Amino acid sequence: MLYGGIDREFLTIPFFRQVNEFVNDIWQQWKTKKYIRTAIDKRVISQEQFPEMNRFKLFNYYLQSLETEFSVRKLAQILSKLQDTKTQLILYTYDSLLFDVDMSEAKQLIPELREVLQQGNFPVKCKVGDIYSKMTEFTL
């Protein structure tokens, strides 16, 4: 529903009502100002760039920009922590990070990385293993 439009019957639910109001607000701004700004970096998303826009497509672009801008900052923090280490970030996907952790650094570094990733109340699962598909839950 969030990506394609909220059915009227769900507008009695506060969350969906608030989302719908937000969608209407950014859509109104789009129609009057011909652009919106992203939440964090305040980058412009304009009608010149995207002439075939609709309300929920605009909302999707806004959400995607929010996730991207937030994740870039989080990755910068992670890379800063790794700067003077042997451990490397080797894969980043939408909601996952894969590290090649030097075992001599694991005890100190993994809790530090977990702390960065949990900022903002994000749940973090940590797995360990030599084979990606066979990793097991890891706790310190």
For residue range 52-90, list pLDDT tens digits in order: 999 999 999 999 999 999 999 999 999 999 999 999 999
Distance CA 40, CA 81 (A): 22
Q: What is the pLDDT of residue 97?
A: 92
pLDDT in tens, 25-53: 999 999 999 999 999 999 999 999 999 99
Q: Which two tokens stand for residue 4?
A: 């394609």
Residues 111, 106, 92: CA angle, nearest 5 degrees = 75
pTM: 0.79
Distance CA 89, CA 67 (A): 19
Number of C-alpha atoms within 13 angstroms, CB side, residue 105? 16
Mean pLDDT taken over the chain: 93
Q: What is the pLDDT of residue 128?
A: 87
Q: What is the pLDDT of residue 3?
A: 80
Q: What is the pLDDT of residue 138?
A: 79
Distance CA 35, CA 48 (A): 8
Q: Flag whether pLDDT at 140 surpasses 70.
A: no
Distance CA 41, CA 38 (A): 6
Q: Are β-strands 35-37 and 88-93 bridged in parallel, bridged antiparallel, or unpaired?
A: unpaired
Q: What is the pLDDT of residue 102?
A: 92
Distance CA 64, CA 45 (A): 12
- Over residues 91-119, mean pLDDT: 91
